[in-house]
């Protein structure tokens, strides 16, 4: 596949919504309900001087992302993301049940260009297998989470033609998060629009971890600035390895 979808693994899907129906006679309680916690939807992201804008429909679903003159469109069926198209590459999502796709078929200029198989638990992707257009596995990723849907570890293995087996390319352990809100967790479409971002892990934002990349230990540290709703407005990873700023529509 010319475009990598490997960072799909780190999206925690499906924020839960709790609705309580009450027949209480407490008029004061009915007239003064507790305000709902605002959800902030990312409307733009700037990384290394390049800005991507995101457009939403009335259901707060991303329907387009625009970077310079390039536009990617997102379509939905039954409230779930069903396809993504950027003019060349099209990804089609296949679901068995729930909000987590079990397979994503990819075409480039109308020609089959591989597919992805996904496994999950509690709405989180725990395993992602990437296959090329010949149906051969090229990469397998496994992710573990804590009880709150925050990533604890990530293991990425790639197929080695010489050894004829999967070999470890990247392993991240001892991940710590900030307990605040990851803006990518509001939408699967946002992950597709930001596949190279190192910050789309789980429900909260990564602040530290230990990475073993091709046998070399690389500590990970991140700093974030937050708005009043606990969403980051800027993030810096590994002293400038990644630097991004975000704007939101909170409602």
Residue 243: is its pLDDT beyond 80?
yes
Residue 29: is its pLDDT beyond 60?
no
To the nearest whole number, what is the mean pLDDT of the chain?
A: 83
Scan for tokens 């946002």, then name that residue: 190
The contacts of residue 38 (CB under 8 Å, 6+ apart) are 229, 250, 251
Average pLDDT over residues 56-63: 96
What is d(CA 11, CA 141) in angstroms, rounded to the nearest whole number? 13
Residue 247: is its pLDDT beyond 70?
yes
Residue 22: is its pLDDT beyond 50?
no
Average pLDDT over residues 115-138: 90
Per-residue pLDDT at 156: 87
Question: Percent of the chain at pLDDT above 90?
Answer: 51
Average pLDDT over residues 200-205: 80
Residue 108: is its pLDDT beyond 70?
yes
Using H for helix, E for strand and C for coil, what is the string for 95-107?
A: CCCCCCCCEEEEE
Per-residue pLDDT at 202: 78
168-to-40, 121, 129, 154, 208 alpha-carbon distances in Å: 36, 23, 14, 11, 21
Fold entry, domain 40-250: Porin (2.40.160)
Per-residue pLDDT at 198: 61
Residue 12: is its pLDDT beyond 60?
no
Q: Which tokens hold the place of 192? A: 């597709």
Per-residue pLDDT at 9: 30
Per-residue pLDDT at 110: 95
Q: Could you tell me which residues are beta bridge partners of residue 62?
A: 56
Residue 23: is its pLDDT beyond 80?
no
What is d(CA 137, CA 122) in angstroms, rounded to the nearest whole number? 25
The length of the chain, given as a count of residues: 251
Domain edges within the chain: 40-250
Q: What pTM, to 2 d.p., does this model score?
A: 0.79
Per-residue pLDDT at 87: 92
């Amino acid at each position: 596949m010319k475009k990598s979808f490997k960072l799909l693994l780190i999206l925690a899907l499906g924020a839960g919504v709790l609705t309580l129906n009450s027949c209480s006679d407490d008029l004061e309680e009915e007239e003064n309900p507790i305000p709902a916690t605002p959800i902030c939807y990312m409307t733009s992201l700037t990384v290394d001087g390049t800005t991507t804008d995101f457009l939403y429909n009335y259901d707060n679903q991303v329907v387009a992302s625009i970077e310079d003159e390039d536009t990617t469109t997102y379509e939905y069926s039954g409230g779930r993301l069903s396809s993504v198209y950027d003019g060349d590459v099209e990804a089609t999502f296949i679901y068995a049940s729930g909000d987590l796709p079990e397979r994503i078929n990819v075409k480039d200029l109308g020609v089959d260009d591989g597919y992805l198989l996904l496994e999950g638990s509690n709405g989180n992707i725990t395993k992602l297998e990437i296959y090329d257009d010949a149906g051969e596995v090229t990469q397998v990723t496994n992710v573990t989470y804590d009880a709150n849907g925050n990533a604890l570890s990530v293991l990425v293995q790639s197929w080695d033609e010489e050894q004829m087996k999967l070999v470890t390319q990247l392993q991240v352990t001892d991940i710590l998060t900030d307990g605040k809100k990851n803006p990518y967790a509001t939408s699967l479409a946002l992950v597709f629009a930001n596949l190279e971002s190192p910050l789309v892990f789980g429900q909260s934002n990564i602040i530290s971890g230990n990475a073993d990349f091709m046998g070399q230990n690389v500590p990970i540290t991140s700093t974030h600035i937050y708005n009043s709703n606990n969403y980051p407005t800027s993030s810096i990873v590994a002293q400038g390895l990644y630097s991004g700023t975000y704007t939101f529509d909170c409602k």
